[in-house]
Homo-oligomer: A and B are copies of this chain.
Amino acid sequence: MADHGIARDQLRAFIERIERLEEEKKAIADDIKEVYAEAKGSGFDTKVMRQIVRIRKQDRNERAEQEAILDLYMHALGMADAGSQSEYDEAAE
């Protein structure tokens, strides 16, 4: 039974951490809204702004995908890419 108690506490802790993080996330989402509202107040068209944000994001993603596919090719060809091994070492694989 003690185990259940422990598990319960652990679960509770996880849940609370998540809820705390979700609060933060929501706070930020609200901040974003505020910025759009402020921009609108300054005469900008939020629709256009959203599109700009979206397209810039796409650009970044595109670049990321390009890199990803390059890596993929390299591996497919049995060539590990030296350099850019940042953050994790795949040599072990």
Contacts and interface: CB of A to CB of B under 8 A. Distances in A.
Give how many copies assemble into the complex: 4
Interface in A12-49: 14-15, 17-19, 21-22, 24-25, 28-29, 31-32, 35-36, 38-39, 42-45, 47-49
Contact of A35 (B14, B42, B53, B54): B14
A44 B76 CA distance: 9
Determine the interface band of chain A, counting residues with CB < 8 A from chain B.
Answer: 35 or more
A81 interface: no
B32 A25 contact: yes
A17 B44 CA distance: 15
B53 A15 contact: yes
Given A14-B38, A18-B53, A24-B28, A48 B72 contact: yes
10 nearest A-B residue pairs (beta carbon):
A14-B39, A25-B28, A51-B69, A21-B32, A55-B65, A48-B72, A45-B76, A17-B35, A18-B35, A24-B28
